[in-house]
Chain A
Amino acid sequence: MAQSVAPEATPSVSAPSGRELLQSKCGQCHTDSMWRDQRQDSKAWEATLYRMMGRGAVWSADDIVSMAGFLGTEFGPQVPKAKR
């Protein structure tokens, strides 16, 4: 099991990418089937991520902007829907 300490005490080495944040944070509860079919812009993704805070997701505003930026690019309104 990975060792961890309280987040505030963690020294910042290099900021993880939006993709990495998504995998580590959203992956605590979901697989990507929960979001991969959604198509919306970054602002709407930001709102989606804020909804997770009500469910106990302890994320900073910077984390949310970073994840929303990634999602808005990979799953934005112009991106074709995935095929089975």
Chain B
Amino acid sequence: MRELVGQYLAQTISRRGFLDNLKAAGLTVAAAEGVLSSLNASAQSASASSPSLSPSGTSSASTPAPVRTFQGTGGACFAEQLIACGVKYVFGNSASEDAQFYDALVDRPQLNYILTPHEGPGAAMAAGYIKASQQPAIVMQAGSVGLMNAMGQIFNAYKEQTPLVVYSYRTDQSKRAGRDGFEEIANQEQVVQPLTKYSWMARGSSMIAETVRHAFKSAWTPPHGPSYLTWHSDYTEEKTRTEIIDQSHFDTRMRVRPNPSEIEKAAQMLLDAKMPVLIVGDEVYKAKAVDKVVRLAEMLGMPVTQMRQIWANFPESHPLWVGNAPAGTLASITWPKNYDLAINIGNKMQHSGVAPMVARNVKFIDMRMDYQNMGKVMSTDVPLVGDVALGLEDLIAAIEPLMNNRIKAAAAQRATEVRRYTENARRLLSGIVNNPEWNQSPLIADRLTWEIAQFADPNAIVVHEAGSVAMHSFQFNPLGGRELFYYYGGHLGSGVGTAAGVKLARPQQQVICLVGDGSFLFGPHALWNMARLELPVITVVYNNHAYAGPHSRTVANAPSGRMIETGHFVGSYLGNPDMNMASIAQGFGVRAEVVKNPLELRQALARAKAATLEGKPYLLDVQVARRGVGWTDQPWVPSSNTIKAAAHLAK
């Protein structure tokens, strides 16, 4: 093994050869990739301190290591700057105009190219990797046409504030642009401008490295978000001379503390409040500040809730956790109703309705880096712009000396009251198993979720893209327990790709991907990546052959209408013929099966677990009951004759 590592670091053995040898020594592909990944980090730091010559470019050792001059093709400059940015994975789809970049990868084992068969799920895989590892990566597509496929996931990254860096070349060459050529559109970078923090076209091959740096700096400076870079394809082929600068020398390290006088105000308001409520959000998870937010809640005996986010940001089994706000407003939590102050720590507070998420008559403290969204809808008594980990430290430090015996007693009394509610709530919610349809076949979705919650490892990661499925019974706990990766953006087709990226980043944790059949069909392609890279994810498709969420909302939005009267729901039913997701998975090289009842489910989950222990992904297509108005048993299907007749009439 030591000899093999030495050969790899000395570049006398290729990446593939290294992996093959590790596999021959008994390692799974995932384990071998893990070894490779750690070696690449070493190789990367070594290359930063002593630039090496390579066939596709030359470095000058005369400049200081963090800032060095490099000469080579634009593609090689691109690769060098990515390495200097700390990138280990490039997620891409085949593109002939990037030939010089591919050529540069051959001798740069620090950069691992992951070929993704569709740009959308490929970008989702990159975003999943970034979210789970908090490490930089890049996703690339073929020109404007590939970009169009990736844009849905760029949208998600924008809404979710994921630092996804996206590149695609311009097919048109610099001296022939503007002729409406093949794949050419004007101002390609402007297409994604509303979805990105930074969007730029490099104006020459010598500007490639600098543009890459700007993109990474922008994406990774909080609040995070995607960035996009492009250039004419001939720049990638052109020889040039440029500076390569390490991330450490252009990163702004923006970890700022909130205004100290506002911290003092917030502390006093919290102490004066009779029933303060704490809202948590994704900045808590990203800042690794869950323990701090727990400490704040415990100091003041505050009930804690959360509105729609990606992660579970507070331990759900904690006695102060009163549950998610079901309708996305503070008013929709069951208890308490007598709150007089709300403090938000890191929630993006997505306003989808007219009413403010926190009522106007409730005092509101808002702590987050996301300054653009502060004060947009809510009137804010105390804005605390800053890194929430640092802000929590400051707030706790400001509160602690003011905690006299009277305040401590009030907080303890409040904590007792909250605990009494949460204990009762947990007892009642466990009654979900008393649903009279619990043992039915096909399964009700809640039964499936409950069974998976019984099955999942204590530290499993659940990637959830089943929009109409309620996520109960898992007791998520970001402090070393089960973790949730939900979706905030809403461009569907991200689940399978995200799960693949998460597993790549966290090979030691069980990853379970829960998707609806509708979501799954938008982006199953990363199953192939799971099979190829041996990323042992368990994917569970809630297959009710329908778009259940839109159906329910359609009924609510057009009550007592013609759809209800006739049962003609034109946009809901996906059956007849029924799609077989297990067959789709098998086509991608993933073992899979269809599950029809609760007994089969437990056996199938056991087979799935056995497969993952061998390093193989597995998919369960679980037949789930449809429930709701007008379609439980025999949903309406348009007559094919009617559709064809309409075509004849048109003629």
Which residues does A use to contact B, with CB under 8 Å?
Answer: 1-9, 28-31, 33-34, 36-38, 43, 46-48, 50-51, 53-61, 81-84
Contacts and interface: CB of A to CB of B under 8 A. Distances in A.
A9 B628 CA distance: 35
B470 A51 contact: yes
Contacts of B444: 47, 51
Contacts of A54: 432, 446, 449, 470-472
Given A50-B432, A51-B627, A57 B326 contact: yes
A5 B417 contact: yes
Contacts of A2: 337-338
B420 A8 contact: yes
A53 B424 CA distance: 14
Given A34-B556, A47-B435, A28 B418 contact: no
B564 A37 contact: yes
A6 to B, nearest CB: 4
Nearest to A30: B556
13 contacts: A1-B361, A5-B417, A6-B335, A6-B336, A8-B421, A30-B556, A34-B556, A50-B436, A51-B627, A53-B432, A55-B326, A58-B425, A82-B559
Given A6-B335, A34-B552, A56 B326 contact: yes
B560 interface: yes
B332 interface: yes
Contacts of B362: 1
B429 interface: yes
B627 A1 contact: no
Contacts of A33: 555-557, 559
Contacts of B359: 1
A76 to B, nearest CB: 14
How would you classify the secondary structure of chain B's contact residues: helix, strand, loop or mixed? loop
Contacts of B323: 56, 58
A46 B432 CA distance: 11
A55 B328 CA distance: 12
Contacts of B417: 5-6, 9
A1 B330 CA distance: 13
B434 interface: yes
Interface in B186-245: none
A50 B472 CA distance: 12
Contacts of B628: 38
Contact of A1 (B327, B337, B471): B337
Interface residues of B, number: 51
B162 interface: no
Given A7-B335, A57-B334, 9 more contacts: A1-B362, A5-B417, A29-B332, A36-B559, A37-B564, A50-B435, A51-B470, A54-B449, A58-B335
A6 B213 CA distance: 54
Nearest to A47: B437
Q: Which 3 pairs across A and B sit closest by C-beta, in order of nearness?
A: A54-B470, A50-B435, A29-B327
A43 B437 CA distance: 9
Most central of B327, B445, B629 by chain A CB within 10 Å: B629
Interface string B327-360: 1000110111111100000000000000000010
A30 B420 CA distance: 27
A55 B424 CA distance: 16
Contacts of B324: 56
Contacts of B420: 6, 8-9
Nearest to B328: A29
Contacts of A4: 335-338
Interface string B244-263: 00000000000000000000
A37 B326 contact: no
B428 interface: yes
Contacts of B327: 28-29
Interface in B542-579: 552, 555-557, 559-561, 564-565
B436 A61 contact: no
B480 interface: no
Nearest to A25: B334
B334 A28 contact: yes
B627 to A, nearest CB: 7
B266 to A, nearest CB: 21
Given A4-B337, A58-B425, A58-B428, A81 B565 contact: yes
Contact of B424 (A3, A6, A51): A6
A23 to B, nearest CB: 15
A20 to B, nearest CB: 16
Interface string B469-481: 0111000000000
Nearest to A59: B428
Contact of A31 (B418, B437, B556): B556
A36 B627 CA distance: 15
Nearest to A82: B560
B437 to A, nearest CB: 4
A78 to B, nearest CB: 17
B330 to A, nearest CB: 11
Contacts of A84: 560-561
A1 B434 CA distance: 34
B335 A1 contact: no
B337 A38 contact: no
**Which of A8, A38, A54 is packed against the most chain B CB atoms within 10 Å?**
A54
A34 B557 CA distance: 8
A36 B429 contact: no
B627 A48 contact: yes
Interface in B429-445: 429, 431-432, 434-437, 444-445
Contacts of A60: 428, 431
Contact of A50 (B325, B337, B338, B434): B434
